[in-house]
Amino acid sequence: MSKVLYIKANAKPEGESRTFKVSDRFIETYKESHPEDEIITLDLYEEDIRLLTIEDINSVFGPKTEESRNHPILKYAYQFAEVDKYVIAEPMWNLSIPAILKAYIDYISVTGITFKYTAEGSVGLCTNKKAINISARGGEYSKGPMASFEMGDKYLRAIFGFLGITDFTTVSIDALDVIGNDTDGIVDNAIKEAQEIAKTF
């Protein structure tokens, strides 16, 4: 049995978020294809995610004990490290990811839990895991002249790789706000793509 962490990072509620329309269908199909697996949903907007203080930073870089698992920051890193698969759902905001997702990344990037330093440099501790990022975007950022401006998926792919997760797939829902585009059709096509991936994820 695998554990899947479904990380949701969108201020829009269910029914309004085009990202969640795709990611929720991914999860539904995943459950049908992997009925024995456990899905843990983590809606960042329902958590007490905030910017790190100096005390938090000291905890992130300080020694880890069994009591660390109950720490309000470190508990997220332990949760992240102890699952097998990740589903990230977020819209593109200003060419990158929502700030709350970046704050969450700061929570989980913890020495001694998700990565460590060695004489040869940093080493990710979250190996043999896989991730998928599902992201809705107003413009076309997967190809063409705007592709170089896309920083959200690139960042997530880089930081997950830093933590040891190199099996990283992306479903991008592009050009949703381009005038004249068939928005419903774009979302439907992304749902079909996501569902196919979910069957073997």
The residue extents of the domains of the chain are: 3-200
Eight-class DSSP state of 88: E
Confidence of residue 140 (pLDDT cuts 50, 70, 90): very high
Least confident of 15-19, 88-92, 169-173: 15-19
Mean pLDDT of 54-81: 91
Residues 117 and 109 sit within 8 Å (Cβ to Cβ): no
pLDDT at 173 (0 to 100):
97
Amino acid at 22: V
Average confidence score pLDDT of the chain: 95
- Residues of the chain above pLDDT 90, percent: 91
Task: Please tell me which residue, 12 or 199, carries the higher pLDDT value.
Answer: 199
pLDDT surpassing 90 at residue 14: no
Confidence of residue 34 (pLDDT cuts 50, 70, 90): very high
Picking from 201, 125, 123, 134, the residue whose alpha carbon sits closest to that of residue 174 is 134
Residues 41-62: pLDDT tens digits? 999 999 989 999 999 998 888 8
**3-200 adopts what CATH topology?**
Rossmann fold (3.40.50)
pLDDT surpassing 90 at residue 90: yes
Q: How far is CA 154 from the centre of its chain?
A: 12
Mean pLDDT of 152-171: 98
pLDDT at 67 (0 to 100):
86
Residue in the structure block whose two tokens are 């969640």: 20
Alpha carbons 84 and 140: distance in angstroms, whole number: 31
Alpha carbons 116 and 111: distance in angstroms, whole number: 5
Confidence of residue 1 (pLDDT cuts 50, 70, 90): very high
Q: How far is CA 31 from the centre of its chain?
A: 18
**CA torsion sign, 55 to 126 to 48 to 8?**
positive
Alpha carbons 166 and 4: distance in angstroms, whole number: 16
Q: Buried b / exposed e across 104-123, counting CB within 10 Å, b at 16+?
A: bbbbbbbbbbbbeeeeeeee
